[in-house]
Structure 1
Amino acid sequence: MNIINPFKILFSPLHLFILLGVMYCATSHSFEKKTVYKYVSASNVTSFSDIEPIGRNFKKIVVDCYACKINSTVDWYRTKLYLSEFRQYISQAALLHSVDPAFVRAIIHAESHFDRKAISKQGAQGLMQLMPDTAQSLGVKNAFIAKENINGGVKHLAHLFKKYHGNKKLVAAAYNAGEGAVKKYGGIPPFTETKVYIERVDILHRRYQRAIKI
């Protein structure tokens, strides 16, 4: 009888879809990042594994959504702030596009927890979680390069602040759910995920504002 090693599992694209769904549900009450590795097998088949392939080129897919988990147990009033990470890039982009750097930090914290390699289940990439089409429209060639990602994300924030006349809640809503959803509902969309996201971004923004002034 052949014994299957559960730690050496290869996944087809269908299996990956199922795996990601299971992992998303399994992590709905925690923020431990789950990783899947995509690579081309010896038989030239695109494969996925839950362990890092040895001796092969692979792409790491991180399934992570930090501030949009509805049942988060994180204390957003006390969770660690990131005041020095990517300071130069954030300051430069914030100054260039006239956006509060504390708000930029709040968005990065909410979106990726300052993980420049983060990839969401929807395919958003990097620190500010830019979708590929959005990144391209913002002139971002590689969303995993921190400087490019931040500049593109802050440029998008500047557009949203102008469109919503400085309304931070609408800016956060549009960043999370899209401008189309804000337009459709005439304001903040009635999505629980979006509502908790807006609340947490607001908490983080106020905390970063106070911390930066110290």
Structure 2
Amino acid sequence: MIATIILMVSVAYLCGSLSSAVVISRLYRLPDPRQAGSQNPGATNVYRLGGRIPAVLVLVMDILKGTLPVYVSYWIGIDAVALGVIAIAACLGHIFPLYFGFKGGKAVATAFGAMLPIGLELGALLIFTWGVALFIWGYSSLAAIITVALAPLYVWFIKPLYTLPVAMLSILIIARHRANIVRLLKGEESKVWNKQGKLKSDSQP
């Protein structure tokens, strides 16, 4: 089983390394999201650079990068803590993509995808939380931080066995947002509907 876990961790990292934002931007002949806009290769930045359709495609691909390796691992019987490590590997692939110079995004959508195998009710709660936070404050980064911070609490009530792996994942995503947290505290964070490419403060939903 250890060999299987190592294999799935590797697969998860390689899946995560496929930068959806870069691929979709190239297909739609958009500026490289790593060099334009917020310089964050995520769905929010692609939305600012190219509109809704490319952003939705990026979002779906990023979610699948987390869902597929975790779901396959769950299906073959890998235990909860190891599933958390596999989920983190997928997110690390997104954050430090092997194929794209190790310059990636925040991994929020990939983390969301990694949590989906726990249950659709969790997915619904996460989407609801993100949507409400975004509606109230208008900051994608703040919405993401609030959502992942609450994720372990939601999991505790839905499937307590997975609370620890989800907490591990949440800590990674919040740590990845440290620069956003500083900007939020300084009042320098931009809101999601601001399409001015020069701003450098988004977070992939």
TM-score (norm 2): 0.30
Higher relative contact order (CA 8 A, sep 6+): 2
Could you say which structure has the larger radius of gyration? 1
Q: Which has the higher helix share?
A: 2
